[in-house]
Amino acid sequence: MAKVVVDITASLDGFVAGPDPTLEEPLGRNGERLHEWALETASWREQHGRSGGQANDDSGLIEEATSSTGAYVMGRKMFSGGSGGWEDDPRSRGWWGDEPPFHAPVFVLTHHPREPLELEGTSFSFITDGIERAVELARSAANGKNVAVAGGGATVQQALQAGLVDELQVHVAPILLGSGTRLFAELGDPVSLEATRVVASPKATHLRFTVRP
């Protein structure tokens, strides 16, 4: 059975981006430090059309996530980069360039309807009727594979609050970011988890949990 998986990198203090995101620094101040664990891996480089890189545990986890994911759900800011605000411009191709690293259909949560954007190996569809609908469409598009809720924090929180998430994988970067966008806000009722795997690499601690029914 295909799962809905949150797969995201956060600082130990729970931030997925630093403060003051801009188009130049879409992850905010110091936010790029969160992803240092991924940047040198062979898998990340391959996803981004580059060769080389390290074939380590970190790389294996990226490869595992990529190969098991059939569709992505993300927020409008993640599509448009940083502070957003131009994702509704029908000419915009998003922040990810002409060959985005998502080699599967992407469903973008937004308030602004626009036509789907077809790019090399990816499509971006813009969903204006909420997280449930976005996940439902992603499930259909995923062809039996998993749906990855890719971020940012607000989108993850909506998915959790709606009870849509089956599994959480948090890549904990060894840093206290000190401020920025939180992965988890106030959710309301507790959600019981089961720890199903820990992979410790020098650059990140990868925690995986199943959401208990």
Which residues in this chain contact its own copies in the complex, by CB under 8 A?
11-14, 18, 30, 33, 160, 168, 170, 172, 174-179, 183-184, 186-195, 198, 200, 202, 204-205, 207, 209
Supply the minimum distance, in Å, between the C-beta of residue 15 and its own copies. 9
Tell me how far apart the alpha carbons of residues 167 and 136 are, in angstroms, rounded to a whole number: 16
Supply the minimum distance, in Å, between the C-beta of residue 58 and its own copies. 12
Tell me, what amino acid is at 158? Q
Q: Is the Cβ–Cβ distance between 156 and 8 less than 8 Å?
A: yes
Tell me how far apart the alpha carbons of residues 182 and 200 are, in angstroms, rounded to a whole number: 22
Nearer Cβ to its own copies, position 104 or 168? 168
Nearer Cβ to its own copies, position 15 or 44? 15
Supply the minimum distance, in Å, between the C-beta of residue 50 and its own copies. 26
Three-class DSSP category at 153: helix
Tell me how far apart the alpha carbons of residues 65 and 76 are, in angstroms, rounded to a whole number: 22
Find, among 2, 121, 13, 12, the residue nearest to 68 by Cα.
Answer: 2
Q: Position of tokens 């995201």?
A: 8
Tell me how far apart the alpha carbons of residues 123 and 104 are, in angstroms, rounded to a whole number: 7
Nearer Cβ to its own copies, position 118 or 194? 194
Q: Is the Cβ–Cβ distance between 30 and 177 less than 8 Å?
A: yes
Nearer Cβ to its own copies, position 128 or 198? 198
Nearer Cβ to its own copies, position 119 or 175? 175
Supply the minimum distance, in Å, between the C-beta of residue 161 and its own copies. 9
Nearer Cβ to its own copies, position 5 or 142? 5
Three-state SS across 68-98?
HEEEEEEEHHHHHCCCCCCCCCCCCCCCCCC
Supply the minimum distance, in Å, between the C-beta of residue 88 and its own copies. 31
Three-class DSSP category at 128: coil
Supply the minimum distance, in Å, between the C-beta of residue 191 and its own copies. 4
The secondary structure element, H or E, covering residue 36 is helix 36-39
